Amino acid sequence: MKILIVTNMYPFENMDYFGNFLKKEVEYIQSQNIEVEVLFLNGRDNKINYLTGLMKFLNIYREFDIIHYHHSYIAWYSFFVKNKKQIFTIHEGGNIKIINNLLIPHYGHGRKGYIEKLFKMFNLRKHILNQMNRIIITKYSDKPLTYNDKKVIQNPMGIDFNKFIIINKEKARLELGMDINDIILFFPHEPRKEKNVELFYDIVESLKLRTSKNIKAIYGGKISTNDMYKYINAADICYLTSNFEASPTIVKESLACGTPILCSNVGDLEELFDPVFTTFICNNCEEFVEKSMEILDKPINRDNIREFLQSKGMDYKTTSENVLKIYKEEMGK
């Protein structure tokens, strides 16, 4: 069995965290004696790579039994494929809607670029989904989900519990050169408009008016995946303020480190946090501020946070096994 992974998310120079969850999945499946090759089209470097990548794809795809796409911006390559098993994993929380347990293609994702305009103009996501033998959505849920009477598999990207561990908060801060007495608020994503960073700015300013302690806001975007756990452990609270997400990996990484993360109500978080930590979901700036104050006044047991996540089956080996099972089922047809 030979698998071709086609993706625009994969670690590269100076961004080893980008798509690292997919790299872990690939490495695990390779460890099970399955031949896997990755075709990475780096749209962050240049969007033209989505076009030039098509020729690279056409030159190699016939060598493989299964083609597995990770993002719609390269999944349109499927229009040129014949007589191959094709699988699509949906990572784009803003580009699908779920209504009455039905998956519906959507457009926008908080973006106004020409690619998204073309996708909407030609309804490309619908056509992409229609090409697929199997559809996976990165979502934690046990509710049934279908697309055109076809079952949609719900399988979030897992994390490495051996890397994202609990360490002493003071130790983490000393290693990172942070003051042990500050309140550290961590926005682990790049501070981009797409991640609704403006809301985080408002939260920080509001909290400064509520406490006499010094507040330090820390931002991600340039942090190596090997160091991320230190920043999470150093933080009093992490924040996810996005308007769109599917199954955000940083939430799982924060919980694995025993650090509370307050989040907008996006993606699969209601179901992931249920039944213990649904209070981590906030609907507006005021709720973020009030819940931040509650956590700062009465910290939550960190071991309890980590154990809760472990009970959800979020280890990358477990989620990778789910994908491997799908490959084997497709080859058996």
- The whole-number average pLDDT for the span 74-99 is 95
Tens digit of pLDDT for each residue in 182-219? 999 999 999 988 899 999 999 999 999 999 999 999 99
**Residue 238 covered by a domain:** yes
Q: Which of 4, 22, 3 is nearest to 12 (CA)?
A: 22
Q: β-pairing, 215-219 with 35-40?
A: unpaired
Percent of the chain residues topping a pLDDT of 90: 92
Q: How many domains does the chain have?
A: 2
| pTM score | 0.95
Tens digit of pLDDT for each residue in 301-316? 999 999 999 999 999 9
Could you tell me if 85 and 69 are in contact, meaning their C-beta atoms sit under 8 angstroms apart? no
**Residue 224 covered by a domain:** yes
Tens digit of pLDDT for each residue in 38-50? 999 999 999 999 9
**Predicted confidence band of residue 35 (pLDDT cuts 50, 70, 90):** very high
Based on the domain organization, do 82 and 7 belong to the same domain? yes
Residue 221: predicted pLDDT:
87
Based on the domain organization, do 147 and 198 belong to the same domain? no
Based on the domain organization, do 134 and 185 belong to the same domain? no
**Residue 241 covered by a domain:** yes
Based on the domain organization, do 274 and 152 belong to the same domain? no
Tens digit of pLDDT for each residue in 258-317? 999 999 999 999 999 999 999 999 999 999 999 999 999 999 999 999 999 999 999 999
For the chain, give the mean pLDDT: 96
Contacts 24+ apart (CB under 8 A), 32-38: 32/324, 34/1, 34/3, 34/324, 34/327, 35/1, 35/2, 35/3, 36/2, 36/3, 36/4, 36/5, 37/2, 37/3, 37/4, 37/5, 37/64, 38/5, 38/7, 38/10
* Sheet of 261-264, strands arranged across: 215-219, 183-187, 237-240, 261-264, 281-282
Residue 167: predicted pLDDT:
98
Model confidence at 333: pLDDT above 90: no
End-to-end C-alpha distance for the chain, whole angstroms: 13
Residue 111: predicted pLDDT:
59
Based on the domain organization, do 10 and 85 belong to the same domain? yes
- Which residue range is the domain that position 240 belongs to? 169-310
Based on the domain organization, do 123 and 194 belong to the same domain? no
Dihedral angle, C-alpha 28, 41, 111, 151, nearest 10 °: -50
Residue 110: predicted pLDDT:
55
Based on the domain organization, do 59 and 145 belong to the same domain? yes
**Whole-angstrom distance, CA of residue 325 vs CA of residue 137:** 15
- The whole-number average pLDDT for the span 72-87 is 97
Model confidence at 224: pLDDT above 90: yes
Residue 215: predicted pLDDT:
98
Model confidence at 66: pLDDT above 80: yes
**Residue 244 covered by a domain:** yes
**Residue 106 covered by a domain:** yes
Residue 109: predicted pLDDT:
64
Tokens found for residue 73:
């911006």
* Sheet of 134-137, strands arranged across: 35-40, 2-7, 66-70, 85-90, 134-137, 150-154, 146-147, 102-105, 96-99
Residue 95: predicted pLDDT:
87
**Whole-angstrom distance, CA of residue 89 vs CA of residue 84:** 16
Based on the domain organization, do 261 and 142 belong to the same domain? no
Based on the domain organization, do 286 and 325 belong to the same domain? no
The alpha carbon of residue 272 and the mean position of all alpha carbons in its chain are separated, in whole angstroms, by 13
Residue with structure tokens 């302690």? Answer: 213
**Residue 163 covered by a domain:** no
Q: What are the residues facing 102 on neighbouring strands?
A: 99, 146
* CB environment 276-287: b (16+ within 10 A), e (fewer): ebeebbbeebee
Could you tell me if 161 and 256 are in contact, meaning their C-beta atoms sit under 8 angstroms apart? yes
CATH number of the domain that residue 11 is part of: 3.40.50.2000
**Whole-angstrom distance, CA of residue 119 vs CA of residue 112:** 11
Q: Determine the residue type at 316.
A: Y
Based on the domain organization, do 51 and 147 belong to the same domain? yes
Residue 193: predicted pLDDT:
86
Based on the domain organization, do 114 and 220 belong to the same domain? no
Percent of the chain residues topping a pLDDT of 70: 99
**Whole-angstrom distance, CA of residue 95 vs CA of residue 91:** 9
**Residue 164 covered by a domain:** no
* CB environment 119-133: b (16+ within 10 A), e (fewer): beeeebbeebbebbb
Residue 112: predicted pLDDT:
61
Based on the domain organization, do 111 and 36 belong to the same domain? yes
- The whole-number average pLDDT for the span 29-43 is 97
Tens digit of pLDDT for each residue in 130-152? 999 999 999 999 999 999 999 99
**Whole-angstrom distance, CA of residue 287 vs CA of residue 275:** 19
Q: Which of 161, 154, 181, 159 is nearest to 170 (CA)?
A: 181
